[in-house]
Amino acid sequence: MNRPAAACLAACIATGTMLTAAAAATVRFRVVDFAGKPIKDAIVYAVPDTPLPPAKPRTAIIDQVNRQFVPQINVVQVGTYVDFPNSDNILHSVYSFSPAKTFVLRLYAGKTEPPVRFNKPGIVVMGCQIHDTMIAWLLVVKTPYFGKTNAAGLLVLHHLRAGRYRMHAWDVSMRKVTASRPLVVTAGGPPRQITFTLKAGRMPRHGPTMPGMSAGMGMQ
Amino acid sequence: MTVRTRSLRFRLIAFLVTLIGLVQIAEFALMTRASYGAAKAKIEQQFGVGDKVFARTLAENAAQQVQSARVLASGFAFRAAVAIGNPATVESALENYGTRIGARAVLYVNLHGDVVADTLRASPHVYPFALPALIHAAGQRGQASSIALLDGRAMQLIAVPVRAPLTIGWVVVCFPLDKALAEQLRSLTGLEVSFAVARGSRWTVVATTLPPKDARVLPARLQATHAGAKNALIRMPDGSELTRLLPLNDSGAARIAAVLTQPIGPALASFRALRATILGLGVFSLLVSILGSILIALGFTRPLAALLEAVKRIRQGDYSRLVAIKRDDEIGTLARGLDLMRARIFEREQRILKLAYEDPLTHLPNRLQFSESLEKALSAARKTRCGLAILIMDLDRFKYVNDTLGHGVGDHVLQEVAQRLRDVLGGAACIARLGGDEFAVLLEEATNGSVAQLAERVVSALERPILYAQQPLDVGASIGIATFPEHGADLQTLVRNADIAMYVAKRTRSGYSFYDPNYDTSQQEHLSLLSELRRAVEQGELRLYYQPKLTLASARVLAAEALIRWIHPVRGLMPPALFIPFAEHTGYIKSLTLWVLREAIAQCGQWRREGRDIQISVNISARDLTSRDLPERICALLAEHEVPARLLCLEITESGFMEDPKHAQRVLDRLAQQGIQLSIDDYGTGYSSLSYIMRLPVKELKIDQAFVSHMSEEPNLATIVHSTIELGHSLGLKVVAEGVEDSGGLALLRELGCDSAQGYYLSPPLPPAEFTAWLEGTLPVRLEGDLCRAEDEHAADLSIARGAALASGAY
């Protein structure tokens, strides 16, 4: 009972904010480590408590340039197609054994392979069969509100509808998304700033372990 | 050669050998120790290299295995199988790949540290991996290797991550520490390799390259020696090998270690060969040193031994051999010194021997030498049964020469005699001067004939006068001969008998005489003579006979010579020649002379009382003149019997006053002062110097009967008598002729102006009563006439008268 009331309140606040601005709110995020150092490329996303209407599928691109995935760290909404073009003049074979999405693209060059649809939330780690150093992370989230921090660890999310959210922050060094906090967005009012302090921030020396594969054989 | 432990040689050799031996032993010990140390250091170095190689090889092996594991883990299909396959799939993949890289076992460990698939057990099963540290290390470094016990087996474990593309788990590949690995390591390190596991303190060998025999004892050794040591060098108690315990894990209850072993034996083979060589060399050089030191020691001691030998010879009195050690060192100096000493001693001994055995005057052997030679010759002759002879010779008139002409002349005479003896008796075994004028000759292998010949030659050689300062001296010699074995078997007998024979020869003036056993009886008589003579004096067996002295000018008998006679109770009348020489010899003559003087003076006194003044002549021997109280005694006797001194005449032979001429002169002077007449007896036989006689208070000269008795037959003798008479008269002396034996002689004496005559022709010596009878009898009267007639007629009947006188005499 309480929950609807709180949600309502939060929505009000958010709506109020949005109402005062453009019927939507902007939230500023700052992600730092325990030392207060800003974390770059941390992914922050906000999941509204109220389920959103299904979105139209979109397509994202993870290019392969100079034996690197570009960008390395990605975030998409569930149901998004990701295209893996090969911009190198050598062959790559992209694969993922992550539980969120397991796939193997045969060796190819250029843009011959079809895009891969990620319809399960979770962390997907992709590599190249040929080049072990090529690693790309793709966080699949159930919200359209997400983004990556810049070099200053800052991210600004616009157009957040007023309402209640659960805010999450994740860095590639983290085996799973653990940092979360509630957020009530009200329309109008000054932009809010939320700071996340993450434990992560450093890559393990010999590479990160596979997210979501900590137990059992790694298979869920 | 006997080894005398106190000898210089032994001590020298012992010292050198001990010294060299000790040096050799020390050298051997040092060299052995050094070379053993070197060998051992080399072994240990090799060993150190070996275990470094071992560790490195092990590490490389592990690295290789890591690579294999990496290859396995990075295979996409494997990754896919692990990432998405079921446990059975994963297991089969592990098995497949494990076989491919030769692993004993392969495990898959998930990110939780649990083994979710392995090749050791059938799946499904999930259990914690026994070595989380390995996984952790692999997480840190991307790989890890470790040696550990897995399921009770010593394994090399390699852990590598499986990435898809991030790490999703770990593959652990297990390689056993087995014999194959040990063999491989041995081939690389050259060491025997064992893998051992200790649970608590109990060791188990899991794999080894050691022969089974050594492998069996290894656990016990490890346990006993270095149970707790890490990386320790274990020396086996018997020193037979070097062993190193190389821990392969550093934790856990079960320790795993590699045991590296190097047998020392083969490694020390070269050392042993070296040691044998050193030992051989040492023994060889010791032997050489011993030999050398013996040679050096002999070099010292051999000449010393020669010196000792020389000293021994000298000690035994053999000085003849040189001490012939020619060396330039101290021993040589010593030898030369010794030789000089030997020569000096030899010289001195020769001189002493010469003094002891040689007569310094004539350089003939002396009595001692003669005795020894004779003893030797005798013992030789006893063996060979050869004869030998000794001649003992006495010079007849030496004493006279010596006394009158001095010892210088005497010595010259003795030397000349010695020379003549040498010339004549060149072949005699020994010519010796026994003393004084007595010589002896030893003839070996002599026969009586040859000895007689030799004696003859000696006599004639000595009859030749000896010249002294152009003056001929006539000594003459008498020789007594005794032969072996006829005349005696020993030295004493032979010498005594030769002596006896010599006296006989002298007495008989025969030149030489062989001993005759008959002499020996008279000799025996001589021996008892002294006591008999004493008894004769005491018991009145002695008599004085008186021989008249005829004064030729007046044909009267005014004097007589008193002559001693011994009426022996057994032997009858003893001629003076049988006992007077003996009495002179023994000194008893003094008593006899005194007796004679007393008797003669008493008789003279008696005749004086009867109205006859007859001068009595008494023979005085040389010995009598030596007694100082002779003048006093005579004086006393004369006074006792009231005899005037002029009625006593003392007859002295020429030699009588030659013994001590000065003393004799004093005595004679005193006698003459008392008025006693002195007369030279036997004049002509000796060599009295007339000038000397002139100095004596002599009034009378008695010509020896040797000249007188045959004067009428030999003109030469008459000439001598004549010149003697002339000489006597020219010196103012009365001349008396003795030994008148015929009327021709008597007449001739008268003719020659001789003052008095005495002889058997006139009268033999007569007892006092017969003497007085003779004086008063016809014979003197006839003689008186005879003398008167002789001037103009031939005294043909004198011989008859003499014959009558002889017949009537008490002779």
Scanning B471-530 for CB atoms below 8 A from A yields none
Residue B239 pLDDT class (50, 70, 90 cuts)? low
d(CA A141, CA A78): 6
Q: Kindly report the nearest CA distance between residue B221 and chain A, in angstroms.
A: 45
Q: Kindly report the nearest CA distance between residue B110 and chain A, in angstroms.
A: 6
Query: Could you tell me which of B21, B116, B100 has the C-alpha nearest to residue B67?
Result: B100
d(CA A49, CA A181): 12
pLDDT at B13: 79
Helix ranges restricted to H, B145-268? 179-189, 212-226, 264-267
Average the pLDDT over B777-804 and give the result: 47
pLDDT, tens digit (0-9, with 9 covering 90-100), for B243-294: 777 788 776 667 888 888 877 777 677 777 888 888 888 888 888 878 887 8
pLDDT, tens digit (0-9, with 9 covering 90-100), for B479-522: 999 988 888 888 888 888 888 888 888 877 778 888 887 776 65
Longest dimension (CA), chain B: 216
CATH number for the domain formed by residue range(s) B75-176: 3.30.450.20
Scanning B63-122 for CB atoms below 8 A from A yields 74, 76, 79-80, 82-87, 90, 110-112, 116
DSSP A208: P
List the single residue in A with minimal CA-CA distance to B167: A209
Name which of B82, B142, B165 is nearest A135 (Cβ-Cβ): B165
Interface contact flag, A209 B110, Cβ < 8 Å: no
CATH number for the domain formed by residue range(s) B535-808: 3.20.20.450
Average the pLDDT over B580-604 and give the result: 85
Average the pLDDT over B340-351 and give the result: 85
Interface contact flag, A210 B166, Cβ < 8 Å: yes
Interface contact flag, A132 B163, Cβ < 8 Å: yes
DSSP B122: P
Helices (H) and strands (E) in chain B, counts: 26, 27
In this structure, are residues B86 and B108 in contact, taking their beta carbons and an 8 Å threshold?
Answer: no
Query: Could you tell me which of B430, B431, B647 has the C-alpha nearest to residue B559?
Result: B647
Residues of chain B above pLDDT 70, percent: 89
Tokens 């005037």 locate to B644
- Using a CB-CB distance cutoff of 8 angstroms, which residues of chain B are in contact with residue A208? 166-167
pLDDT at A220 over 90: no
d(CA B281, CA B275): 10
- Using a CB-CB distance cutoff of 8 angstroms, which residues of chain A are in contact with residue B107? none
Q: How many CB atoms lie within 10 A of CB B66?
A: 19
Residue A155 pLDDT class (50, 70, 90 cuts)? very high
Domain ranges of chain B: 75-176, 358-516, 535-808
Task: Please state, rounded to an integer, the average pLDDT across all residues of chain B.
Answer: 81
Query: Could you tell me which of B535, B671, B528, B544 has the C-alpha nearest to residue B607?
Result: B544
Name which of A95, A126, A213 is nearest B168 (Cβ-Cβ): A213
pLDDT at B237 over 70: no
Which CATH fold would you assign to the domain B358-516?
Alpha-Beta Plaits (3.30.70)
Tokens 């006679």 locate to B565
Among A94, A206, A214, A219, which would you mutate to test the B interface (most chain B Cβ atoms within 10 Å of its Cβ)? A206
Q: Kindly report the nearest CA distance between residue B98 and chain A, in angstroms.
A: 19
Residue B82 pLDDT class (50, 70, 90 cuts)? confident
Q: Kindly report the nearest CA distance between residue B162 and chain A, in angstroms.
A: 10
Interface contact flag, B111 A209, Cβ < 8 Å: yes
Residue type, B199: R
Strand order in the sheet with A192-198: A154-160, A25-33, A192-198
Query: Could you tell me which of B283, B288, B289, B338 has the C-alpha nearest to residue B309?
Result: B338
Query: Could you tell me which of B311, B306, B303, B309 has the C-alpha nearest to residue B338?
Result: B311
What are the Cα distances from residue B572, in Å, to B562, B565, B569? 20, 10, 6
Tokens 């000449």 locate to B303
pLDDT at B784: 56
> Is residue A66 within 8 angstroms of chain B, CB to CB?
no
Tokens 């040990």 locate to B182
d(CA B673, CA B634): 12
pLDDT at A219 over 60: no
pLDDT at B601: 93
pLDDT at A216 over 70: no
- Looking at the domain covering A30-155+165-183+194-198, what would its CATH class be? mainly beta
pLDDT at A20 over 70: no
pLDDT at B722 over 80: yes
List the single residue in A with minimal CA-CA distance to B127: A216
Q: What are the E-state strand segments in B552-663?
A: 556-568, 572-574, 615-620, 648-653
Please tell me whether residue B68 adopts helix, strand or coil conformation. Answer: helix
Interface contact flag, A218 B164, Cβ < 8 Å: yes
Q: Which residues of B539-565 are buried (b: 16+ CB within 10 A; e: fewer)?
A: eebbbbbbbbbbbbeebebebbbbbbb
What are the Cα distances from residue B484, in Å, to B378, B439, B497? 8, 19, 11
Interface contact flag, B74 A132, Cβ < 8 Å: yes
d(CA B507, CA B785): 39
Count, residues in chain B: 811
pLDDT at B644: 92
Tally of CA atoms within 13 A in the half-sphere of B718 that contains its CB:
15
pLDDT at B638: 92
Interface contact flag, A218 B83, Cβ < 8 Å: yes
pLDDT, tens digit (0-9, with 9 covering 90-100), for B644-702: 999 999 998 876 666 667 788 888 888 899 899 999 888 877 656 666 777 788 888 88
Interface contact flag, A125 B163, Cβ < 8 Å: no
Residue B791 pLDDT class (50, 70, 90 cuts)? very low
**pLDDT higher at B507 or B131:** B131
Q: Kindly report the nearest CA distance between residue A216 and chain B, in angstroms.
A: 7
Residues of chain A above pLDDT 90, percent: 33
pLDDT at B562 over 90: yes
Those residues whose C-beta lies under 8 Å from the C-beta of residue B479, and which sit 6 or more positions away, are: B391, B392, B393, B455, B458, B459, B501, B502, B505, B511, B512, B513
